[in-house]
Copies of this chain bind each other. A is one copy, B any other.
Amino acid sequence: MLGAAGPAGAQDLAAEAAAVRDKALSDPTAWRIVESLTTEVGARPVGTAAMARARDWALAKLASLGFENVRAEPFTTKAWIRGEESAEVVAPAPQKLRILGLSGSAPTPKGGLTGEVALFPTYQAMLDQPAGALDGKIAVVTQAMTRTQDGSGYGAILAQRAHGATEAAKRGAIAYLVRSLSTMQTRAPHAGYADYAGIPAAALSPPDAEQLERLAALGKPVSLKLVMASTVDPAATAWNVVGEIRGRERPDELIVVGGHLDSWDPGTGATDDGAGVAITTAAARLATLHARPRRTIRVVLWGSEEQGGSGSAYAAAHAAEVGNVVLAGEADIGAERVWRVALPAAGRDHPAVKAFLAALAPFSVVVSPDPAVRGGADVDGLVQAGAPVVQVAQDASRYFDFHHSADDTLDKIDPKALAQATAVWASLLEVVANSDVDFRPRGASSP
């Protein structure tokens, strides 16, 4: 049914892609990987003992699944490590607030700091303030995030988390609080990366941000006390954990896929990115169980995506190989079903691509008319160096309910959705690893 008409071999490829897809739909490997990682390691922020345990877990897991050349590739990166954190309204109505420090946060003085709130309902309203306008104030931005299927609601207001403290400090603020980039109305704040701005910086839960809006609307000055104690390791060791299924015919041609092993600390990193680790690892295994592939599939479990560094470290360590990378991709958008794929511009008419699209047909996945230009933070370095990239978009509608929060736990993963995403990746790996499809720009020839 799914076999595409085409040159000799194309029907085989289509049949194999469909078989791999169907096997993946009922295979428990991906679920078991993410269950094991989130249970036996849990949260694994870079720079902590838990991250070292995650490395050991990954080495053992890849080896036990039959991957070859399993290794941890160390690199050095800056790590921000959370300490004690609390926030409370001092006046006009004393009460506790829920916060999570952002990675660019400075600690408060030992006993905390107290200041009056300058509240802005939009980030732009704060940016519109002149220098000195926030002198001595705690700047608060309460702009809410929009829920979207493609996750674009996040990027749309990411600046208020990533750069807000810097902009607040420029205008004189002594601390910065931002409504979490969250689509969930719970008291769990969402952590995340922020530039270092020299002042304490934290995310408020959405209800806490709204509470500050109501308190500010009472018309009296609102003052807060913050206590935050973080430390920074400027040269923490982290690891990209790598495993391969070596190709039988063209072992130097590499398909580089993976997820990131590190996570934020409040949850167990189930959807971000235990799911991506599980999906790509299981997909590589499923695509190669029936036969060793023609090309090499390399799974990389990147070691510092959340605070940055693992993608650039990988690209630097493997710069000489970039021309051999026939496809790169990262699964880092949760555990829900794939709803859209974007492929490189080249190779669209190759029978392997047709076989892949035929395998996708039962899932009603949208094939983007535009070429993929990004595949995840950890493959940006490869992409910039010229490697072709695939974007496998999973439904992100609920991803930012839990992302970077205490609620990113295993129970948020639907095993059937995880299996569908694994099936898509496995079909893709199957056809690319067992064909000569060339996604490289200008049809760069194989080495």
CB atoms of A411 and B93 under 8 A apart: no
Known: A39-B211, A218-B39. A188 touches B185 (CB 8 A): no
| One of A40-48, A110-118, A298-306, A328-336 at the interface | A40-48
Q: Does any Cβ of B come within 8 Å of A275's Cβ?
A: no
Within 8 A of B (CB), among A73-96: 89, 92-96
Q: How far does the Cβ of A316 sit from chain B's closest Cβ, in whole Å?
A: 32
Q: Does any Cβ of B come within 8 Å of A395's Cβ?
A: no
CB atoms of A210 and B410 under 8 A apart: yes
Complex CA–CA separation, A210 to B38 (angstroms): 12
Complex CA–CA separation, A39 to B218 (angstroms): 9
Nearest B residue to A208, CB-CB: B409
Nearest B residue to A215, CB-CB: B39
CB atoms of A94 and B188 under 8 A apart: no
| B-contact bits for A110-141, CB 8 A (1 contact / 0 none) | 00000000000000000000000000000000
Contact partners of A211 in chain B: CB under 8 A: 39, 42, 268, 409-410
CB atoms of B409 and A42 under 8 A apart: no
Known: A210-B411, A211-B39. A187 touches B406 (CB 8 A): yes
Q: Does any Cβ of B come within 8 Å of A61's Cβ?
A: no
Known: A35-B214, A188-B187, A267-B187. A207 touches B409 (CB 8 A): yes
Q: Does any Cβ of B come within 8 Å of A206's Cβ?
A: yes
How many of chain A's residues touch chain B, expressed as a range? 35 or more
Q: Which of B94, B96, B207, B409 contacts A187 (CB 8 A)?
A: B409
CB atoms of A93 and B412 under 8 A apart: no
Nearest B residue to A98, CB-CB: B406
Nearest B residue to A212, CB-CB: B39
Complex CA–CA separation, A411 to B213 (angstroms): 12
Q: Does any Cβ of B come within 8 Å of A50's Cβ?
A: yes
Q: How far does the Cβ of A136 sit from chain B's closest Cβ, in whole Å?
A: 25
29 pairs, CB–CB < 8 Å, chain A vs chain B: A35-B214, A39-B93, A39-B214, A39-B215, A40-B93, A40-B218, A41-B93, A42-B89, A42-B211, A43-B95, A43-B96, A50-B95, A53-B93, A95-B268, A98-B406, A185-B412, A186-B188, A186-B406, A187-B406, A187-B407, A187-B409, A207-B407, A207-B409, A207-B410, A207-B411, A210-B410, A210-B411, A211-B268, A211-B409
18 new A-B pairs (CB below 8 Å) besides A187-B406, A187-B407, A211-B409?
A35-B214, A39-B211, A39-B214, A40-B92, A40-B218, A41-B93, A42-B95, A42-B211, A43-B95, A43-B96, A49-B94, A53-B93, A186-B186, A186-B188, A186-B406, A187-B267, A188-B188, A211-B410
